[in-house]
Amino acid sequence: MLSEKSSASNKKYMPELGTEVRSGISIYKLLSVLGEGGFGTVLEVRRGYRRYAMKIEKYNKSMLHIEAAVMSAAERHSCKHICRLVDYGTQKPRYMFIVMPILGKDLHTLRHEQLSKRFSLRTSIIVGMQTLAAIEELHRCGFISRDIKPGNFAVGLREEMQHRTIFLFDFGLAKKHSDRDGNEYASRGVVGWRGTTRYGSLKAHERLDLGRRDDIESWFYVLVEITSGTLPWRHVTGTIFELLLGITVHWFTYTCRLYCFLGPILLVLLDDFR
């Protein structure tokens, strides 16, 4: 956890800790900093006797409207594995915020806490099933993530009886993949980089427009990492061509090894989406 002193001091748009933030329906007291990144800050807040996480971003650079749209759609579809939207609001022209339940540790942190830096086969299967269910729910809501990675999945809190449930969160790079009638949007061709390099699909590294199958490809790479402890192309550097070549070669090698380890079901799943 970051120090409270580092929270709002470097971001002039941020409200001060100890003060209150009002939405259209509620008042939240800002308690402490849970995390901080390049785009915003996550605070622990209190409404009445309950505590929540509040994500705040600068108003004119915020992508929180997308996150709110995703989580609102997830609520309409009764999604089990997508983080719930509690509230949202704006303080123009300073900042926008969304309020969510506080989650437990993310999969990246949990994996690194293991001595072997990987999960057991049983745990990996459970994690694989729940994370895939989360992605399926997101796609059913009409969105794709474009940033599937261990750090965007977290378990719920034990005190909420959700410590055995994995939730997908952070939808800042999400976009609609189909219209209201379920018709897929046409590919936009070359659009630039989206996502996290280590888990990006081959299309992502070619800077092409992404779809649902790219989320599944990234999920497959997450599965490789949590079962083996690393990704074979993690240290590949150089030009885009060299990076793609390295990923492609290692991909085929690891597909064969993972087949022996986890069985044919993963290959069938991946083949259906590619």
Nearest-angstrom CA–CA distance, 94 and 230 = 41
Q: Extract the runs of DSSP E, i.e. beta strands, from 145-257.
A: 153-155, 166-168, 175-176
pLDDT values of the chain reduced to their tens digit, one per residue, 274 residues: 334 444 444 577 889 999 999 998 999 999 999 998 767 899 999 999 999 999 999 988 889 999 999 999 999 999 999 999 999 999 988 999 999 999 999 999 999 999 999 999 889 999 999 999 999 999 999 999 999 999 999 999 988 889 999 999 999 999 998 777 777 776 787 777 777 888 988 888 888 889 899 999 999 999 989 998 988 777 665 555 455 555 555 555 555 555 555 544 455 445 544 4
Q: Is 181 a catalytic residue?
A: no
Report the chain's C-alpha Rg in angstroms.
19
Give the pLDDT score at 23: 94
Q: Is the pTM of this model over 0.85?
A: no
Nearest-angstrom CA–CA distance, 226 and 119 = 6
Give the pLDDT score at 37: 74
Q: Please tell me the class of the 5-100 domain.
A: alpha beta
SS3 content of the chain, % helix, strand, coil (to 5): 40, 20, 40
* Token pair of 85 as six digits: 């939207």
Domain boundaries, the chain: 5-100, 107-273
Annotation-wise, does 55 bind a ligand? Answer: yes
Q: Residue 238: in which H helix or E strand, if any?
A: none
Give the pLDDT score at 264: 46
Nearest-angstrom CA–CA distance, 201 and 206 = 9
Catalytic residue among 106, 147, 170, 215: 147
Give the pLDDT score at 265: 44
Exposure of 166 in the CB half-sphere (CA atoms within 13 A): 24
CATH superfamily to which 107-273 belongs: Transferase(Phosphotransferase) domain 1 (1.10.510.10)
Q: In whole angstroms, how far apart are CA 9 and each of 33, 44, 53, 230?
A: 12, 17, 19, 36
Beta bridge partners of 71: none
| Cβ atoms 35, 42 nearer than 8 A | yes
Exposure of 101 in the CB half-sphere (CA atoms within 13 A): 21
> Which residues, other chains included, contact 28 with Cβ-Cβ below 8 Å and sequence gap of 6+?
20, 21, 22, 45, 46, 47, 52, 54, 87, 99
- Backbone phi and psi for residue 60, each to the nearest 5 degrees, phi listed first: -80, 0
